[in-house]
Chain A
Amino acid sequence: MAIAATTAAPVKIGRLRSWIVNSGPVLGIFAAIFVLWELGCWLFKVPDFILPSPSVIIDKIISSWWLLLVNGMVTAQEIVLGFGMSVAIGIPLAVLAVYSRIFERVAFPFMVSLQTIPKVALAPILVMWLGYGILPKVMVAFLISFFPIVISAVVGMRSAEKEMIYLVQSMGANELTTFLKIRLPKALPSIFGGLKVGMGQAVVGATVGEFIAAEQGLGYLQLISQVRLDTALLFAAVVVLSLLGVLLFNLVAWVERLAVPWNRMRTEMIE
């Protein structure tokens, strides 16, 4: 116990230092950009409706926080529902594609060919069918995030070596056991790769859906600000949308770290 207590402090300091070393340059670049931006706006007297300075944007975020929060919640809801649908439908479909010959030969190529349709182009049609509520946005988010999730899951579940399957079969494992003990854990890193891409796509899908037709949401807020020449609010909405995207992405990354601890092992060793 005493040993643990004495070693804990240096480890913490080491972590802090490595965090500064890792994140320092990036933070420095961001800080430099913001300072230049602020100075440029001030020196050249750029009007706020063309390019608001960072301080003006921050002021706007603070003064309109309620508006941003309410609309942000709507967009977040659309993203999460669309993404959730992709996972709930995509993963079982991937399992089917791995286990069913017919499905693999017929449904899978069909799905791939559907992928060539630009999902964004479907948004106006979806609005026409599903109205102005959150449903068409959820659908666009779903359609656009679905494909990377399915593909990465299929690739992952097919990635188990033949010997690995033979090995558990030689121990008398049935299909279910083989799936649970080998295929699924083997696929997890790939599945999470797809989930991260899919989450990014869902953000794009929901926002684009709101551009087409909406009564609320961050995309809607952007449209309104554009019409009103409220460029500061436009930028504020972009900032909140980015923060939302980063938050949701990190949420997936955090679940990944819990579910795939061995993968982190590996990257730690590369560092």
Chain B
Amino acid sequence: MASSGSGVQIGLRSVSKRYMTASGDAVDALGEIDLDVAAGEFVSIVGPSGCGKSTLMMLVSGLIPATTGTITVGGVPVKGAGGKAGIVFQRDVLLDWRTVFSNVMLPVEIKRLDKETHLKKARDLLRSVGLAEFEEKYPAELSGGMRQRVAICRALVQDPGLLLMDEPFAALDALTREQMNLDLQRIWLRDRNTVIFITHSIEEAVLLADRVVVMTSRPGRIADICVERIRRHFMALGVLSET
């Protein structure tokens, strides 16, 4: 993989989202948002729960349409799902009826990508997260951290220009979470996908991201785009070392 990066550039212009509930009420989940993410950039989004972080991710993936505004991924306006994004949710949503390996190959099957090259890719990915011996196991036999690793491999096997992660490590214990952060960091340094990483943890956001986007509560808006200030803060605390 070229280390110069396979990431794509993302642009949001006055994007907002209003949900209509079954009872006919309107919920303004997302206010008007402008956001640019450079190709190969790692952006974290933090904010109170219910502020529209997941909504933002769904909009970028094209799974739900925006109420106003335009979203471009790789310079192309997003129209419907089936694009360039690999997605990781908080729940790993592995398919119980498939083995680990077959779970990772799911995008290859659905997108009808070339089997041969991706078999090797899937195997390499699983090895890189220490799951080589678990290829033929069923998800029920894996721990939570292992399952989420499989979910990440599944997102990565399709060479996504964009990786969307919605609180992927929130359900894991602190130690596993730290290990996952390191794994993710390593993978990103190698592949340089564009990553949008939603989290509750400011530490996690600062540790991983080039840039941290802070959102306000509903309807969600971007309150602050910061990184240097938070980084300085943590450096002063001695949590982060200068690199």
Residues B66-117 near A (CB distance < 8 A): 81-83, 85-87, 89, 91, 93, 95-98, 106-107, 109-111
Contact at A262–B89, with CB atoms within 8 Å? Answer: no
**Chain A contacts for B134, CB-based, 8 A:** none
Contacts between the two chains (Cβ within 8 Å), count:
69
A12 and B227 CA atoms in complex are apart in Å by 62
Task: Decide: A167 near B89, CB < 8 A? Known: A181-B106, A265-B138, A269-B141.
Answer: yes
Contact residues on A (Cβ < 8 Å of other chain), bracket = 20 to 34
Q: Across the interface, do B63 and A170 meet the contact criterion of CB distance under 8 Å?
A: yes
CB distance from B204 to the nearest CB of A (A): 21
Would you call B110 and A177 a contact (CB within 8 A)? yes
Among A171, A186, A263, contact of B82 (Cβ-Cβ < 8 Å): A171
Nearest CB of B to A181, in Å: 7
Contact A171 to B63, CB < 8 A, known contacts A161-B93, A269-B140: no
Q: Does A124 lie at the interface of the complex (its beta carbon under 8 Å from any beta carbon of B)?
A: no
Interface pair B138/A169, CB less than 8 Å apart? no
List CB contacts (< 8 Å) of B105-133 with chain A. Answer: 106-107, 109-111
Residue of B nearest to A172 (CB): B82
A265's nearest neighbour on chain B, judged by CB, is B138
Q: Determine if A265 and B140 form an interchain contact, defined as CB atoms under 8 angstroms apart.
A: yes
For the complex, give the distance between the alpha carbons of A170 and B178 in Å.
28
Contact at B63–A262, with CB atoms within 8 Å? no
Check B58–A173 contact: CB distance below 8 A.
no
Q: Does B199 contact A (CB under 8 A)?
A: no
Check: A70 CB closer than 8 A to any chain B CB.
no
B194 an interface residue at 8 Å Cβ cutoff?
Answer: no
Within 8 A of B (CB), among A157-214: 161, 163-164, 166-173, 177, 181-182, 185-186, 188
- The answer to whether A56 has its CB under 8 Å from any CB of chain B is no
Given contacts A169-B82, A260-B97, A262-B138, contact A161 B110 (CB under 8 A): no
Beta-carbon contact of B93 and A262 below 8 Å? no
B61 within 8 A of A: yes
A182 touches B95 (CB 8 A): yes
Q: Taking the complex as formed, is A266 at the interface, i.e. its CB lies under 8 A from any CB of chain B?
A: yes
A-B contact pairs, 13 of them (CB 8 A): A167-B87, A170-B62, A170-B83, A170-B86, A171-B82, A172-B82, A172-B111, A173-B82, A181-B106, A186-B96, A262-B138, A265-B141, A266-B140
What residues make up the interface of B, taking CB atoms closer than 8 Å to A? 58, 61-63, 81-83, 85-87, 89, 91, 93, 95-98, 106-107, 109-111, 138, 140-141, 158
Interfacial residues, chain A to chain B (CB-CB below 8 A): 161, 163-164, 166-173, 177, 181-182, 185-186, 188, 260, 262-263, 265-266, 269
